[in-house]
Structure 1
Amino acid sequence: MPTSPIRPAAPADLPAAVRTLTRAFAGYPFTRHIVAADGHEERLARFQELYLARVAMPFGRVWVADEGRGAVAAWTTPDGDPGAAVGELGPLVGEIAGDRAAAFEAAERALEPYRPTEPVWFLATVGVDPGRQGQGLGRAVLEPGLEAAARAGYPAFLETSTERNVRFYERLGFAVTAEVALPDGGPRTWCLCRKAA
């Protein structure tokens, strides 16, 4: 079991949380597909910072382990509507994606039909610092969100682009609802849902 306390993220945790997510996603197939290779990690860090600061923290829920240095889980929830913020970020996200912007848009179009239309807790991102993997931090940082969604009576939904992650989420009660071959040579991506309690 992890020894790092899990707690809701505070604004002061943002820099460490961004570093953790950037390190966790540096080689991830989906982000490699949708974010330009030149300056990839800097672009990825900008994307993570924008998402956490402008969407997840004000409109959703974010939990961290070790003040963001160990693990981070960010959710959107039915309680907040990030639509306007997401719309404002569109041009910035396109700029961050660089020469992969069209692939990003195509991936979003391909996944959209498989996303829930009913209210859900959407696990937008979760990452464990590579140096801290294998300590149970991933599960620990996810549990508060899973418990909160269950208490509120909502399903939880996520997407992942690695088969290893699919097995991890299945152990947490998720079931695969779709398997999507992303266009433009993108990675296979799985949609998973955990039913409401």
Structure 2
Amino acid sequence: MVVKQLTLGAMASNCYIARKNNQVIIIDPGDMPKTIIENIKQSEKVLGVLLTHGHFDHIQALDAVVEKYQCPVFISEQEKDLINNPRLSFYDGVINSKLTYINDNFKLGDFEIKVHHTPGHTKGSVMYQIEDHLFTGDTLFDSSIGRVDFPTGDINEMQKSLDYIKTLDPDLFVYPGHNRITTLKRQLAINPYLK
């Protein structure tokens, strides 16, 4: 699998395009749909969009991407209330895309997707693991973590999620919602929130 990072919009949110056998999954299309679409080849089939959580800076390009590729959208069932409420998601648009609420691991084409539930930044935050790639959204950043003072955020839940992350394979590559790509091994060594 090959992963392309796109840093998009005023919030510098990371969108990822995961490719395997001419199949594509888009993770967190936060902004600038034209840029996302330009980075997908006509010969590639977009199988779906994965959302790590429902904040505006991870979903603003969602409807345009789904309209273009007519693909399903996956998000934690625990995020249902947040993504459908502008006061909680901070998104003043309307999500027209049909959402598929997930709780368990699933498969899309050649992609085996493991869902790690990591509440804290939001109640329904998840990380997606595909092979040795871990898409952490706003749960884990390089040397930091996501805020817990937004609606549905919870510092106690975040601590439980961080304790869980410490049990994962340290050889995983970490693809955060903001900032640079890193490894779990590096974060276990330098991230003060994982001590």
Structure 1 or 2: larger strand share? 2
Give the TM-score normalised by structure 2.
0.25
